[in-house]
Amino acid sequence: MATEQPGPVCVPASGVFRRELIKQLRAQDTFGRWSGKNDEELLAPYVLSVERRRELPLMADPDVLTVWRLEMFYNAVSLCIESATGIMVTPVVKLHAEGFGRLVLLAGRLAAVSKTLREVHRFGFSSLHALDEAGEKIIAEAIQMIERFPLVAEL
C-alpha cells in the first residue's frame, strides 16, 4: 500500500519578511516623516534590549504604538504567507486593555496560525536577527499548515 507523500513545503527566501515589514511601515508614513530614516532606524522600535525589557513592569497596559507595531508585524507575516501560497491571509488580533489576548491568521476557514498574546506592552525582539527569525518561523509554520489542509484554506 503506497502512502501519499506531502508536497514540497514552500519556504520564502531569506529576508522576504524584513523587506515586507519595511514596506508596510513605509506605506504607513503618509506625511514622509520617516523618508530620511534608513531601514535599521525604521525597525529600531522592534528591538527591545534585555535591560530595557527589565525596566518594563510585568503588568501594564500596552500603548497605542506598541499595539500598532504588533499589528504591522503580523500584517507583514500575513502578506508573506499570501505571497508564497496565493491564498489570502487575514490577521485577527483581539487584545484586552491589560495586553493579553489572541492572534489568529486566517486562510480561508483555516486558522493557519493561532497564538496567545501575553505582555504585549513588552512586544519586541532582542535583535533585528531575532525579529527576522521570528517572522520567518511563523511564515514557514503557516505555509506548512496551509499545505497540509489546502481544501480548508481555499474555502
Residue 42 lies in a domain: yes
Residue 10 lies in a domain: no
41-56 pLDDT, tens digit each: 999 999 988 888 777 7
**Burial zone of 35 (CB within 10 Å; 0-12 exposed, 13-18 middle, 19+ buried):** exposed
56-102 pLDDT, tens digit each: 766 777 889 989 999 999 999 999 999 999 999 999 999 888 778 99
Residue 138 lies in a domain: yes
DSSP label at residue 86:
S
| Cell numbers that stand for 73 in this block | 508585524
**Model's pTM, two decimal places?**
0.85
Q: 98: domain range?
A: 16-27+34-153
pLDDT of residue 84: 95
102-152 pLDDT, tens digit each: 999 999 999 999 999 988 888 889 999 999 999 999 999 999 999 999 999
Task: Determine the Cα–Cα distance for residues 148 and 33; give it in Å rounded to an integer.
Answer: 43
Residue 71's CATH number = 1.10.3100.20
Residue 74 lies in a domain: yes
Of residues 97, 129, 132, 135, the one with CA closest to residue 115: 135
Of residues 35, 118, 20, the one with CA closest to residue 75: 20
Residue 112 lies in a domain: yes
Task: Determine the Cα–Cα distance for residues 27 and 71; give it in Å rounded to an integer.
Answer: 14
Residue 9 lies in a domain: no
Quote the number of domains for the chain.
1
